[in-house]
Amino acid sequence: MMEIKIRAWDKYDKVMCEVRGINWLEEIALCAPILPNRKAIAYRWKSIEDFEFMLFTGKQDKNKKDIYDGDIGRYQTAYVKNQKQEYGYRYILIKFDISSLEKIQQLLIISNLISQNNLEIIGNIYQNPELLESGK
């Protein structure tokens, strides 16, 4: 059975938070900012409107880091340049969306990268959008 974990981007405080609970009737979530040492402190209830929620995929990257919807991963790939094989990195947004054939194909690519142990999570769309914008 897949473990259900949720983290949330606090749109106002601009921090990633661990979610401990959601009260859908009162539309509030119990969250705490995640510190650099990966510990969450000072849980408090806030409006769910303050957050962008990110669901744990049930998978981990090659470094055993949990993968969440909205994460940015990189993987090594080979290409030919001047008749010589070279290696480089490509970047991919983890989005579990099946609303179109193109998005389903991307989901299959992500799944293959995970099974090949070739995906490393390097950020997320809220804290590191520049990774996707500049193609770094």
- Summarised one tens digit per residue, pLDDT across range 60-76 is 999 999 999 999 999 98
SS3 string, 28-62, reads EEEEEEECCCCCECCCEEEEHHHEEEEEEEEEECC
Take residue 67 and report the two structure tokens written for it: 């993968």
114 near 61, Cβ under 8 Å? yes
Indicate if the pLDDT at residue 119 is higher than 70. Answer: yes
125 near 69, Cβ under 8 Å? no
Question: What DSSP character marks residue 11?
Answer: T
Q: How confident is the model at residue 26 (pLDDT cuts 50, 70, 90)?
A: very high
Across 85-97, average pLDDT: 86
pLDDT of residue 127: 92
What's the whole-number average pLDDT of the chain? 87
Indicate if the pLDDT at residue 136 is higher than 70. Answer: no
